[in-house]
């Protein structure tokens, strides 16, 4: 009988990257690293999923910023800019960046930045999965990796961006402290030849750490009592 998997997922060039572990193995156990162009294909690689943490918005507001994003920025301080505004639902299905900005403003929000627009396709993909396959709603939670790193760094945000070499070194050190360097080396080997960058892989590890904490009955929810969006999805970030 296979043991349930815990999985951390992050977006990456060309699709999604996942780092998975058996729930029974503990953080120092073997890891499985998978990359796929579609989220449903990625999740299908893991038999018997217990919990999936994903660095992508779940639960979308109709006309105002999500409270969870605001709280996350407050907690992250210098890393606050890593929390992109989640799309307002009326803007989600726009065909162009200009249309998304116009729809967002019409709904009462702001225009959509180029960085945020680049995430729209993945937000739609996740949202459609949770709408059409309702059983996933209990097994997929939103996690922001910078909050995971904050928790692993004694409640302090990491000082350097993941886009700087010293930021990469620091994140690698934090991940190695939890999962062990052999786990990182194994993931790198499994992802060889793919377009996955190291910062995306390390983010997936951080999200996996939060998913494990959540599955064990711990973790933090921002806010503690999250509101539901119009489709019944919680607007919260866990870590």
Which residues, other chains included, contact 204 with Cβ-Cβ below 8 Å and sequence gap of 6+? 8, 9, 10, 17, 18, 19, 33, 55, 145
pLDDT for residue 1 is more than 60: no
Is the omega angle on the peptide bond into residue 6 within 30 degrees of 0, that is, cis?
no
Task: Indicate whether 57 belongs to any domain.
Answer: yes
Domain containing 63 — which CATH number?
Answer: 3.30.420
Q: Where are the alpha helices (DSSP H) in 24-180?
A: 39-43, 67-76, 97-106, 114-117, 120-132, 145-152, 165-179
Closest CA to 131 of 92, 97, 91: 92
47-76 average pLDDT score? 96
Round the average pLDDT of the chain to a whole number and report it. 95
Tokens 């009988």 sit at which residue?
1
User: Number of folded domains in the chain?
Assistant: 1
pLDDT for residue 3 is more than 90: no
Task: Indicate whether 143 belongs to any domain.
Answer: yes
Task: Indicate whether 97 belongs to any domain.
Answer: no
Kindly state the tokens that stand for 137.
């709603």
Predicted pLDDT at 182 = 98
Task: Indicate whether 111 belongs to any domain.
Answer: no
Task: Indicate whether 158 belongs to any domain.
Answer: yes
pLDDT for residue 87 is more than 80: yes
Task: Indicate whether 69 belongs to any domain.
Answer: yes
Q: Which domain holds residue 187?
A: 1-84+128-239
Q: What residues does 1 pair with on adjacent strands?
A: none
Look at residue 236 and give its three-state secondary structure: coil
Q: What is the largest CA-CA distance in the chain?
A: 52
Per-residue model confidence as pLDDT tens digits over 100-151: 999 999 999 899 999 899 999 999 999 999 999 888 999 999 999 999 999 9
Task: Indicate whether 150 belongs to any domain.
Answer: yes
Predicted pLDDT at 134 = 86
Task: Indicate whether 28 belongs to any domain.
Answer: yes
What is the pLDDT confidence band of residue 2, given thresholds at 50, 70 and 90? low
What is the pTM for the complete model shown? 0.95
């Amino acid at each position: 009988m296979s043991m349930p998997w815990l999985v951390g997922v992050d977006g990456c060039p060309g699709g999604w990257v996942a780092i998975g572990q058996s729930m029974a193995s503990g953080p120092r156990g073997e890891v499985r690293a998978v990359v796929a162009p579609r989220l449903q294909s990625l999740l299908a690689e893991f038999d018997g999923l217990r919990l999936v943490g994903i660095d992508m918005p779940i639960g979308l507001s109709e006309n105002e910023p999500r409270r969870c994003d605001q709280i996350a920025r407050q907690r992250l301080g210098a890393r606050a800019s890593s929390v992109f505004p989640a799309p307002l639902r009326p803007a989600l299905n726009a065909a162009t960046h200009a249309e998304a900005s116009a729809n967002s403003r019409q709904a009462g929000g702001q225009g959509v930045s180029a960085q945020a627009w680049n995430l729209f396709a993945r937000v739609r993909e996740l949202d459609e999965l949770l709408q059409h396959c309702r059983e996933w709603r209990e097994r997929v939670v939103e996690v922001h990796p910078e909050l995971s790193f904050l928790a692993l760094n004694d409640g302090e945000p990491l000082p350097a961006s993941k886009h700087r070499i010293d930021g990469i070194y620091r994140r690698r050190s934090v991940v190695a402290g939890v999962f062990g360097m052999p786990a990182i080396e194994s993931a790198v080997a499994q992802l060889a030849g793919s377009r996955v960058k190291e910062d995306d892989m390390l983010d997936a590890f951080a999200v996996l750490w939060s998913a494990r904490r959540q599955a064990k009955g711990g973790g933090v929810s921002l806010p503690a009592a999250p509101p539901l969006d119009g489709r019944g999805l919680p607007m919260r970030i866990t870590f």
